[in-house]
Every structure is written in C-alpha cells, then in structure tokens.
Amino acid sequence: MNALLIIFTALSVLLFAVSWMLLLTSRGNAWGVRALSTGMASCVLLFAANAWAAQAPPFGNMRHVLCALPLLLYPVWTYLRRRGVQATAGIAGVATVALIGALCMPLQAGWRQAPALQSAWFVPHVASYVAAYAMLTLSAVYAVGAWGARQAARLTSAHMLARLAFPFLTFGLCSGALWADAAWGRYWAWDIKEAWSLITWLIYLIYFHMEVSDPSARRIMLLLGFAAVLTTFLIVNVAPRAAGSLHTYAQ
C-alpha cells in the first residue's frame, strides 16, 4: 500500500507539473488541459487509495487534505471556464505545490480516525474548509499577478474567487462550532486553530464590506487574508502552542 500511495502521488505531481509548464507557454494549452484532466484522474485514484488505507474518508490529517485539495479545485475549474475565466494554469500550479507538499510528509498509511473525528460533521466540515482554502489560494495567485495591463481583469477574478470561497469558509466555521459542541460540550474553546480560523474569516468579511476601489488596497487585503489562511492551515500546526491544541489529530 505504501508503494501504491507513493506512485499515485508522484504520478499526480508529474502530470500537474507538466500541465502547468505547458499552460505557461503560448502553444501548449490543449495538451496542458489534457495533462490537467489526466492529473485529476490520477488524483481520484490517490484519494481512493488513501481512503482504503485509512478505512475512512481521507480528510483527517495534513497529507490527506493536501492530496484531496486538487480534486476540490476541479468543480472550481469547470465553473470558471463557463464564466470565461482562464484559470487552468493557476489550478495546475496550486495542485502541483499541494501534492509536492504531500510527498514531503509521512505516508501515514496506518492512520486511523481519532474518536473526535467519528462524527457526521467530519467530511462536510473539512471538505468545506479545504474547498475554501483552495479557492483562496487561487485568488491569491491572481492577486499577485494583478499588475500592468491585465490588473483589472485579474483583480476581478481574484475577487470572484474570494467571494465564491467565503460561503464555504463560513460553513466551515459554523459547522466546526456545532461539531465542537457535540464532541466536547462547548461551541468555542479559543483553541489556537479556532482563533486563527475566526481571524481568517474576519479578514475576508472586512474585505467584502470595505468596498475598496483602489487596486493596491484590494490586493493587500486579499494577500493579508491569504496569509491568515496559511497561518491557520499550516503555521499553527507547528507552533509551540499547537502541542496542546484540541486539533492535534489534524497535523
């Protein structure tokens, strides 16, 4: 099983990386899309292998989440293409980076659900957050690239992605509180992960209510929000206080 997990992860990384490189050229669009679609198919096999190894939905640790992230970008890709937004290269890039991160982590093929994860809230809560984080990552990519003649169009795409992600972010926050009440008898404990989830949500809430028209200010707010996403998703897991976190099973 370990060899199978490595093979599927490496194959997915290769396909997404090839897609990314092709899509960054002016003539590689068709083959780049084909490589991306094949990478998604490989990622489905990886997701199934993780589920088989864990004997549970594979959303319970960081490696599982990074492996699932490209799949949650697929419907976003479909939606954006219908809206005329060309995000294929960005999606290929985000998927590549996520799976390289997964390759650098322990396989955890023998991972099993902690008692707190054995809840009906487990899959919808985690999947909504991962979908939100995936879209916000893509939004940040557009915000970083919003310079020069294409600034307005890219900022519009970044804003659209953030707006699309916000309901998922909100559902993740609310479902987490309901899950915490069912598991621990309280909706909120000011755990480090909970606190940064709330900070992230508030930053994007402020962004949407500011109605900022200045491109530089909009870019700064979107990147500040993404910095909070990275802190919530990655940094708090290695912070000293994370050792006493209620969410240590997610590391």
The pLDDT of residue 246 is: 57
Identify the domain containing residue 220 by its residue range. 117-251
pLDDT in tens, 3-56: 888 888 999 999 999 999 998 886 668 888 899 999 999 999 999 999 998 888
For residue 241, the number of C-alpha atoms closer than 13 Å in the C-beta half-sphere is 10
> Domain with 12 in it: what CATH number?
1.20.120
The pLDDT of residue 146 is: 67
Q: Is there a single domain that holds both residue 109 and residue 228?
A: no
Domain end marker among 78, 113, 148:
113
Q: Is there a single domain that holds both residue 64 and residue 183?
A: no
65's CB contacts (< 8 A; 6+ apart) are: 59, 126, 130, 250
Q: Is there a single domain that holds both residue 194 and residue 248?
A: yes
Q: Is there a single domain that holds both residue 72 and residue 122?
A: no
Count how many domains the chain has.
2
The pLDDT of residue 187 is: 83
The pLDDT of residue 201 is: 95
Domain end marker among 113, 148, 176:
113
The pLDDT of residue 79 is: 86
Q: Is there a single domain that holds both residue 182 and residue 234?
A: yes
Q: Is there a single domain that holds both residue 130 and residue 162?
A: yes
- Regions of the chain with pLDDT less than 70: 1, 26-28, 108-111, 116-117, 146-150, 211-213, 238-251
Q: Is there a single domain that holds both residue 234 and residue 138?
A: yes
Q: Is there a single domain that holds both residue 243 and residue 126?
A: yes
Q: Is there a single domain that holds both residue 204 and residue 90?
A: no
The residue among 66, 67, 80 whose CA lies nearest residue 33 is 80
Q: Is there a single domain that holds both residue 144 and residue 103?
A: no
How far apart, in whole angstroms, are the C-alpha atoms of residue 60 and residue 116? 10
Q: Is there a single domain that holds both residue 128 and residue 251?
A: yes
How far apart, in whole angstroms, are the C-alpha atoms of residue 106 and residue 103? 8
Q: Is there a single domain that holds both residue 138 and residue 239?
A: yes
193's CB contacts (< 8 A; 6+ apart) are: 232, 236, 242, 245, 246, 247, 250
Token pair recorded at residue 136: 């916000």
Instruction: Please give the DSSP secondary-structure letter assigned to residue 130.
Output: H
3-state secondary structure 21-72: HHHCCCCCHHHHHHHHHHHHHHHHHHHHHHHHHHCCCCCCCHHHHHHHHHHH
Domain end marker among 65, 85, 113:
113
How far apart, in whole angstroms, are the C-alpha atoms of residue 21 and residue 46? 22
pTM of this structure: 0.86
Token pair recorded at residue 133: 């984080």
How far apart, in whole angstroms, are the C-alpha atoms of residue 98 and residue 39? 13
